[in-house]
Amino acid sequence: MTYCIAIKTNSHLVFASDSRTNAGPDNVNTYSKMFCWGIPGQRQFVLLSAGNLATSQSVVEKINRDIKENSEVNLFNVKYLSDAADYIGKLSLEAQNTILQAGMNAGFNAESTFIFGGQIEGDSAEIFMIYPQGNHIVCPQAAPFLQIGEIKYGKPLLDRVIHDNTSESDAIRAAMVSMDSTMRSNSTVGPPIEINSYTINSFKPGGYRVFVEDDAYLRDLRDSWAEKLLGAFAGLPELPSVSNVSRICRNR
């Protein structure tokens, strides 16, 4: 499994990814799911991947090759960010179709889902979810974040914390707490956690942080959050008294 998040605030694009892959419960490995490209001063991109690892790797390799060979369409020459998203969607479909034409079992799934974001000079910054079908959507305005992979455990926290005007530091820490809660509830999501925070209109590579399993800050954040969560509990309003029970209980 995988858990990746992208957050779009007024000032930053924050990307977060875990690093655990598994092909069955007894085939667990560690791969980065975060990839970046850019031309300082002109354009910056970040890609996060979930799903079939071979499909994801094939897409990333093709992106690199197309840049190297200066292909007609590549990340360093597309005019608009959404064209770049379309291009990645096309690479993903091609990778899936190559595998599927080989005639796999009915149960085999070659699909990958991507989060792609960044900014090209003259265009606004954006984050996209790129579906296995190759099409894409932007994030909702009211809840400006996207998630792929094991998204449910960590969503309620993001729903409450993330807004347009969330600070960079809060967005990163929200992503990390959301990630940590998910790791706690699902053993197929795991460290290192990678964070890339792009400052909108900077056109410089985003600030990069990585947190391994026994990272001191990650442990601090986890302990601090657990303690504050229990503290928040202690301060919740007192329960009202019980109602009449007879209407739901059938007692002899």
Q: Which member of 98, 152, 187, 212 binds its own copies (CB under 8 A)?
A: 152
Closest CA to 153 of 131, 130, 180: 180
- Shortest CB 167 distance to its own copies, Å: 10
Among 185, 179, 38, residue whose Cα is nearest residue 117: 38
Binding test (CB under 8 A) with its own copies, winner from 11, 96, 112, 181: 181
Residue from 138, 155, 188, 192 that binds its own copies (CB under 8 A)? 155
Nearest approach in angstroms of CB 217 to its own copies is 5
Distance CA 77, CA 61 (A): 17
Under the binding rule (CB under 8 A), the answer on residue 170 touching its own copies is yes
Q: What is the largest CA-CA distance in the chain?
A: 81
Residue 154 in the binding site for its own copies (CB under 8 A)? yes
- Cβ closer to its own copies: 41 or 124? 41
Tokens of 128: 């996209």
Buried/exposed 33-49: b ≥16 CB within 10 Å, e otherwise = bbbebbeeeebbbbbbb
Between 26 and 238, CB nearer to its own copies: 238
Residue number with CB closer to its own copies (32 or 201): 32
According to DSSP, residue 3 is labeled E
**Binding of its own copies by 240 (CB under 8 A):** yes
**Cα–Cα distance between 112 and 188 in angstroms, integer?**
17
Report in angstroms how near the CB of residue 213 gets to its own copies at its nearest: 16
Spatial separation of the C-alpha atoms in residues 247 and 252, rounded to whole Å? 13
65 is a contact residue toward its own copies (CB under 8 A): no
C-beta of residue 112 within 8 angstroms of C-beta of residue 132: yes
CB count in 10 Å sphere of residue 186: 18
Contact 50, 31 (CB under 8 A): no
Nearest to 18 by CA among 170, 199, 188, 168: 188
- Is residue 36 close enough to count as binding its own copies by CB under 8 A? yes
Among 2, 14, 37, 127, binds its own copies (CB under 8 A): 37
Tell whether residue 221 is a contact of its own copies (CB under 8 A).
yes
Residue choice 1, 99, 138, 210 for contact with its own copies (CB under 8 A): 210
By beta-carbon proximity to its own copies, the closer residue of 97 and 204 is 204
Identify the bridge partners of residue 13 per DSSP, sorted by sequence position: 8, 198
C-alpha–C-alpha distance, residues 35 and 164, integer Å? 25
135 lies in the binding site for its own copies (CB under 8 A): no
- In the complex with its own copies, which residue's Cβ is closer, 27 or 251? 251
Task: Point out which residues bind its own copies (CB under 8 A).
Answer: 32, 34-40, 64, 67, 76, 152-157, 159-161, 169-170, 172-174, 177, 181-182, 184-185, 194, 196-197, 205-210, 217, 220-221, 224-226, 228-233, 235-240, 242-245, 248-252
